[in-house]
């Protein structure tokens, strides 16, 4: 019997704009990535979301992104390593204040959107991100795309890392995520998503959008909170994993973090 973490990106509402089904999703996941105010979220949403995570006993991670609220952090920006490091420190620190005020601890950091995908293929950017996480708190786990530069950078600077796989995203043959702008990028069939997840965990394999099998090892599975079928996905995925006797446990338990 193995272990796997299920995570979801939440806390992405801001002002009068409501996104996702945060409280419903919290009942089925073991870790959450909370927006830090740049691609989504705001101080009131951050505070409320942290408190909800604590209420449900779910581990908390920061979800820092690019300063692009209008584009939801999904547009590529040309930033320097120095800027990337400062952006990360600023956002992680902001969420950390709310976490500590709730008498809780932060488990991990997972970059959001374009920043996550840029770092997966850019070693220099990945190192800047990893260094920022270590400066803020060396006990934080860095979450990155499986087999990406971000995972390598975290290991290089001495952080614990968690390799992430996706339940509701299609993969290219090189292990990167298919851009959302392309047809078939999102997996909308719940049963297909479940089958893919179980196979990724049990066999470390997934079928790329081009048809061939690729190898991906995962410590945590992401179900996007803004996906219109997110709640159905996470319910079915959790039930299927439990049927396969795969234990749902937060990242810190999977990685045997003291």
- Per-residue pLDDT at 231 exceeds 80: yes
Q: Indicate if the pLDDT at residue 176 is higher than 80.
A: yes
At 258 the pLDDT is 44
Whether the per-residue pLDDT at 228 is higher than 70: the answer is no
What is the C-alpha to C-alpha distance for residues 184 and 181, in angstroms, rounded to an integer? 9
Q: Return d(Cα 43, Cα 22) in angstroms, integer.
A: 16
Tens-digit pLDDT profile for residues 37-59: 999 999 999 999 999 999 999 99
| Mean pLDDT, range 17-41, rounded to an integer | 95
pTM to 2 decimal places: 0.93
Reply yes or no on whether the pLDDT at 120 is more than 80. Answer: yes
pLDDT of residue 22: 93
pLDDT of residue 58: 98
Candidate from 16-30, 64-78, 128-142, 215-229 with smallest mean pLDDT: 215-229
Rounded to the nearest integer, the mean pLDDT of the chain is: 93
Average pLDDT of span 10-35 = 95
Can you give the pLDDT at residue 131? 98
Q: Encoding tokens for residue 235? A: 């319910």
Give how many domains the chain has, as a whole number: 1
If one compares 3 and 124, the residue with the highest pLDDT of the two is: 124
- Whichever domain contains 29, its CATH number is 3.20.20.370
Task: Give residue 95's domain range.
Answer: 3-254
Residue 80, pLDDT > 90, answer: yes
**From the centroid of its chain, how far is CA 208?**
20
Segment among 18-27, 141-150, 249-258 with least mean pLDDT: 249-258
For residue 250, report the phi and psi dihedrals to the nearest 5 degrees.
Answer: -65, 165
pLDDT of residue 227: 61
Reported as a pLDDT band with limits 50, 70 and 90, residue 1 is low
Best CA proximity match to 162, nearest among 46, 30, 52, 35: 30
Q: Write down the pLDDT at residue 256.
A: 58
């Amino acid at each position: 019997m193995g272990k796997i973490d299920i995570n979801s990106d939440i806390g992405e509402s801001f002002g009068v704009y409501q996104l996702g089904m945060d409280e419903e999703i919290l009942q089925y996941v073991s870790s959450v990535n909370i927006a830090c105010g740049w691609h989504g979220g705001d101080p009131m949403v951050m505070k409320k979301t942290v408190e909800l995570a604590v209420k449900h006993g779910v581990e908390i991670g920061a979800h820092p992104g690019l300063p692009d609220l209008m584009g939801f952090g999904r547009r590529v920006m040309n930033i320097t390593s120095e800027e990337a490091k400062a952006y990360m420190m600023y956002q992680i620190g902001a969420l950390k204040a709310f976490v500590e005020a709730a008498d809780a601890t932060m488990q991990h950091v997972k970059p959001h959107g374009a920043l996550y995908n840029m770092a997966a293929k850019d070693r220099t950017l990945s190192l800047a991100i990893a260094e920022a996480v270590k400066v803020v708190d060396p006990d934080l786990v860095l979450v990155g795309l499986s087999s990406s530069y971000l995972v390598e950078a975290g290991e290089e600077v001495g952080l614990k890392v968690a390799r992430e796989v996706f339940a509701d995203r299609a993969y290219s043959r090189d292990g990167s995520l298919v851009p959302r702008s392309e047809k078939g990028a999102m997996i909308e069939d719940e049963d297909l998503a479940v089958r893919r997840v179980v196979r990724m965990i049990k066999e470390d394999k997934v079928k790329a959008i081009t048809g061939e099998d690729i190898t991906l090892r995962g410590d945590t599975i992401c179900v996007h909170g803004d996906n219109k079928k997110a709640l159905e996905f996470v319910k079915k995925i959790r039930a299927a994993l439990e049927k396969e006797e795969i234990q749902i446990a937060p990242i810190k338990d999977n990685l045997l973090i003291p």
